[in-house]
Structure 1
Amino acid sequence: MLLKNKYKVFFTIIFIPLNYQFIYAHNVYTRGNFTPKEYAFFGALGIIILSFFLIVLISLNYQLRIAKEKLNESRQRFSDVTNAAEEVVWEIGKDSKFNYVSKKVEKVLGYSPIELMEISIYDILKGEDRDKFQNEMLKIAKSNGKFYKKRYRFIHKKNYEIWLQISGVVINDENNKYIGFRGVSSDITREYYQERKLYFLARSDALTGLMNRRFFIEQARKSFKKSKMEHEDFSFAMVDIDYFKNINDKYGHDVGDKVLKDLAVIMKGILKDDYLLGRLGGEEFAYAFPKTGVKSAKEIILNLQNKINEFTFKINDEKINITVSVGISYLNDESDELSTLSKGADIALYDVKNGGRNKIKIQKK
């Protein structure tokens, strides 16, 4: 309709002057001021001018048609690409409401594009991730930058949590002012939980779920250095199950494993604040007690021993009671590295093993 109106205006601009020219020439000729040749000349000139404008009009019409076809092709191409892509393509305005979402979103979030066009992105972000998203997007908008592989938790239409990885750019208007964002999102929920599982397995003991030896030593070393630098107390304890080999020999390794798992639960029960606990291997465990003097550490271990002595491990129809021996060392002027404390606690533990077991010894140096 708009194009037709433009044509009407165009023809009016052309024909009105030409019409007046012919009328003027006719009036002049009838009054005898023009000869027939001159009259014919002006008529031919008018036809030439009219033909020129018609050619221009036809050319413009052709160019408009070609441009419209290319625009439709471009739109179709964009639609095909966005619908075929694994990622969700989206655009949000300054008000954080969706201006565009590709059809893929229905597979990822359960909402249709039409449903999302009526809400804000904050309506589907989970809890604290709303503030995280808002703060990060404000920083990016101010810097007129882009963001890459940001991770946020969203709520599916069926009310369960999914993880999306988002990349995008800032949208600016003709005055280079921020008006929104556009980008792509992909569902990484499965990958995220696989990463978490691998993270846990790499740092945890497979049997007890405690820190494994490598990760425990790594974290205890960091804690030791921090305590030494800030002149705070730090204690280290090594715990070993008494006569554990007899349990494995008498009841089998499956029973031994059950005892280790149950013992780990008891040992975790005394953890608080920044305390660390790990399984070093076999029946040997270790604690790191930052901000804890040796007297307090001994009281904690005495409490642990009492809990273990009172606990009966039930294996099928069997009831098993165990005890533990403990060696403790602590941070002093001669402690340069965590390994110094570890060796000291190990020496103290060895002395307890040779001196009757089910006891605690503090290695002073």
Structure 2
Amino acid sequence: MDSKRFSTPRVAIIGGGAIGLASAWALARAGASVTVLEVGPEAGQGALAASGGMLAQGFEGANEDAGRAFVALAARSLSLWDDWAERLIPHAASPLGYRRSGSLSPGFGARGEAWLDRLAANAALYEIPFERLDAASAREIQSGLGKGLTGGIRFPGDGEVDNRALGPALVNAIRAAGGAIRTDWPVTRIESHAGGVAVSGPAGQVEVDRVVLAAGWQSLTLSAFVPEARFLVPVKGQMLSVEPVAGLTGCIRAADAYLSAKPGRIVIGATSEVGASDDAIQPELTPILREAAETVLPALEHAKTAAVWTGVRPGTSDGLPILGQSACAGVVLALGAYRNGVLLAPAMAEVVRHLVMGGSEADPAFAPDRPLGALTRG
């Protein structure tokens, strides 16, 4: 069944996050009959709404030493974002806040300088465009940087988007392209058969030709039917936003915090708790995040905290997405984008479209059957 080509396939997308919605939009525009099945009361929430909305291909590739396959996928996705944003603007209920003004990684003290050296080495290795800056040049790009600044690295191609506006815009775009979105629709069973795939849950059953599993870390609940889902692990993060008391010329990606400007707020993040999937806020983490951000930009010391929230990222042991055909016939996997779901959405959706419509396969580096072990939990 996996080799069969469909001109107008019926497709169920499990998960209404960045990757699920992006895949649904791509498939609907390609002529597929698409239905998104979202467990929650509203699509475009969850990790997407909780994220920083950063399109940091340069920084992420260099900071994580993620390898050439990730860098290539992220570069492809970033190249699609200009067209994506232009197509989404008519469907956005509020400004997307899309801009490609670069990201700045400032270094402070000897530790920060060593970190910048590593960033520069990785960027050079993976041929990621970057600019190494002295302290004076870094301050010219972003005024108000803190004491002890030794220099910085700028990734000129990076950008950002208002993630809270992105989800509703994708929902509207999917519906405009003829797709359907069902909310409060948890999936508890996936069964392949000769005629296609049956997806069922408390709300009923859907019969389709193909299923795209893109439910983030919650895909773990379906590992009895889709074995590759067992390699996902939740990674909880806590973030906060403050009043916009300082102007940011672009994203700031420091060693211990990120700062991203959104309409009416500055987002500060983020903690990382491997294995945690609860949504409880830990008040003791807020001053730690604030202190890290204020070291980078001291003006934030006077900014009132506007909101504190949590989100859960879908992690994998090697930090790479799981992207390809599942051992469960008729199921395509689009999982494990970790903290880069917004960045990778256009390119992962492009691959999903090819896989569903009978086109090319994904890069073997992301193959669902590659050697993977479960991340350490706890």
Question: Which TM-score band (shorter chain)?
Answer: under 0.3
Which has more helix, going by share of residues? 1
Greater relative CO, 1 or 2 (CA 8 Å, sep 6+): 2
Larger Cα Rg: Structure 1 or Structure 2? 1
**TM value normalised by structure 1:** 0.22
Which has more strand, going by share of residues? 2
